[in-house]
Structure 1
């Protein structure tokens, strides 16, 4: 291939969590082959990731001149910074499917923080969630972390499941509220992983289809559906008997970028020049702009420290404690906190750590450590639990009291 040809077409898809790039050796409409492709997470550093990706592309295609189009939820600022055309991602995605999969009836796409259903017939109609991670790739990442794995690990676990449990996917907080008790009760992680996949599929279909049937040939697109067979199976299970067949294209994770390349009509630009421009440009979308410093000078920082030092919680060593002591345990969804007070409200012991997915054992460990170090003449007279695991920990420890965490916050502030 003559890398210096001016008819190379490049599509960049800048998503909320990943960047995708495709370069065709000519016009995709005429059957041009892909000569460069990439899929990588940008970890919120879009400018840096774009710069690195374009440099890699320039190195792989020395002297290349490309027609470029940018798309994606975070692509508008990048397009402005690089001074190249922008195309709305649904238009890019639809163009790609209509070219490479003309028999498709419905598109199902999951991204990092969005989900889409596009009905292609009789006329295109697209439905998309708002700016929320519920039921998307970011939601899957959150749930994987709760199960002490990553997205590929979650997929592997789900492939070995034997049953599923009801899991909310409207919001990560609600999902954790469903998952954590199941974890505490010893539910198999394989079944919980499959439950997460099923919840994502249910959320996407129920929340976006809103009763409109999904029929015919369904195309799976986007990174999560491309890389996770268990997620595709979950969608298949939810839509069983309603769909003729499912298709996952070879480059499903790159389809939006491919559609952008399909629509790339800019003047030919040097790929190495684009890489140089990306190194110096700042996107204008606000995604990559620097925020002002918290403190403009040392005087402001000193004032902050002085203001916050006015109120100090009184504390003394546990070894000096005597008489009745009062234990508070805050059992959160991921961490557990405890404070032991004497009758003058002085802190004599405190603890803050991850609950490692098992708040009951974490609470038992805190209590055991306190009893091991409790001096003679001191006793824990009363215990109160709060937080997400209030009832669970209260029952496990036989604590006298439980309190809603907002009230616990209020009482402490008061």
Structure 2
């Protein structure tokens, strides 16, 4: 086959799929979309969209990304390790870069390019990554772009843990309860991500020279890039933010694509007909193997029950218990016999005091006539 064939680079990440079609050194198609845990389905839809754009073409294909190996096996295409793919793109497009900082949905990487390439990557925890930013945005009733807009107006930075979403929530929730400005909290979240990435991955090795920002979070969130600049300070004399930073790994895969040319209908058919990827490691036994085990489980667990009643039928003394957690608030009303006559479970909406007051008002409004209000 000729070397001037179109090249397709596919990057399957933990939360997104990216595709780039290149004609020589020119991008003629690109897409970036969330797969919402349906990698196979979203990849098939993406391939069909590419086929609509190039109905009669055959392409050389390579796949990369943290979730790409299994899909590459399904489709029978070449797989390239993502650091190698990203480095290939940078060497071709930005050879002047010294250090790569890349954030993905559930991973973070720092790659030193000179004098010899050295890559640092986080472990299996998604703390300080795109998914972590999504978590914090949800806690503040917005999304990642909304968090970026808030952060642009900050006045003060608070210390927030970013190694784990649970730890971060224990820092953010009190700030919300105390009325801290959402703009300050948003900027503090980005600052925590930058600090975690640099401190956790650089491990003391200086980041100097020209830094290139890659990955969706750093591409779409300029305030996150500003947080990295604050953390890195004067050690870095220049920053590179490519227009297609979210696609660089897919671009690198396209540069590395070799082997036979394949048609897009063939790729979609291979993906559609493939069996699920076999897991190399030994998996745990399912909780319930069959309907008989399920029936036995339900029968055993139904032996211990808490009596339930209706608030309208409640009499005598009633007792209200409220459990205000970091993200949810729960309540139960019981009578003297221990019967549950009312219960609730919901989000605290970032303000557990107001949520508790709302529960109390709901309970008082639902009290039946004649209830002993002095002891309820």
TM-score over 0.5 (shorter chain): yes
Q: Distance in 2 between matches of 1:149 and 1:142?
A: 10
The match for 1:17 is 15
Deviations 1:340-387 (A, max 9, x none): 2233322232222221111111111212232333353535759xxxxx
Q: Distance in 2 between matches of 1:70 and 1:343?
A: 64
The match for 2:46 is 53
| Pairs aligned (count) | 371
The match for 1:153 is 146
TM-score (norm 2): 0.92
Q: Aligned runs of 1:10-159 on 2, under 5 Å?
A: 10-26=8-24, 32-159=25-152
Q: Distance in 1 between matches of 2:187 and 2:327?
A: 21
Q: Is the 8 A contact 1:74 1:285 kept in 2?
A: no
Q: Distance in 2 between matches of 1:5 and 1:245?
A: 36
Q: Distance in 1 between matches of 2:154 and 2:276?
A: 44
1:348 and 2:341 aligned? yes
Q: Distance in 2 between matches of 1:334 and 1:147?
A: 11
Deviations 1:287-320 (A, max 9, x none): 9xxx999767655554444333222211233344
Q: Distance in 2 between matches of 1:35 and 1:285?
A: 35
3-state SS in 1 of match to 2:78: coil
Q: Distance in 1 between matches of 2:152 and 2:374?
A: 47
- Report the RMSD for the aligned CA atoms in angstroms: 2.3
Which of 212, 227, 249 aligns to 1:256? It is: 249
Q: Is the 8 A contact 2:4 2:23 kept in 1?
A: no
Q: Distance in 2 between matches of 1:86 and 1:47?
A: 16
3-state SS in 2 of match to 1:244: strand
Q: Distance in 2 between matches of 1:239 and 1:333?
A: 32
Q: Distance in 1 between matches of 2:68 and 2:78?
A: 10
Q: Aligned runs of 1:321-340 on 2, under 5 Å?
A: 321-340=314-333
* CA shift for structure 1 position 43: 0.5
3-state SS in 2 of match to 1:58: helix
Q: Judging changes above 3 Å, is the alpha-carbon distance between structure 1 residues 226 and 377 closer, same or farther for their aligned structure 2 residues?
A: closer
1:270 and 2:263 aligned? yes
1:378 and 2:372 aligned? yes
Q: Distance in 2 between matches of 1:323 and 1:210?
A: 64
* CA shift for structure 1 position 65: 1.1
Q: Is the 8 A contact 1:217 1:247 kept in 2?
A: yes
The match for 2:157 is 164
3-state SS in 1 of match to 2:234: coil
Q: Distance in 2 between matches of 1:126 and 1:285?
A: 29
3-state SS in 2 of match to 1:95: helix
TM-score (norm 1): 0.84
3-state SS in 2 of match to 1:107: strand
Q: Distance in 1 between matches of 2:172 and 2:275?
A: 41
Q: Judging changes above 3 Å, is the alpha-carbon distance between structure 1 residues 379 and 264 closer, same or farther for their aligned structure 2 residues?
A: same
1:203 and 2:196 aligned? yes
Q: Distance in 1 between matches of 2:273 and 2:137?
A: 36
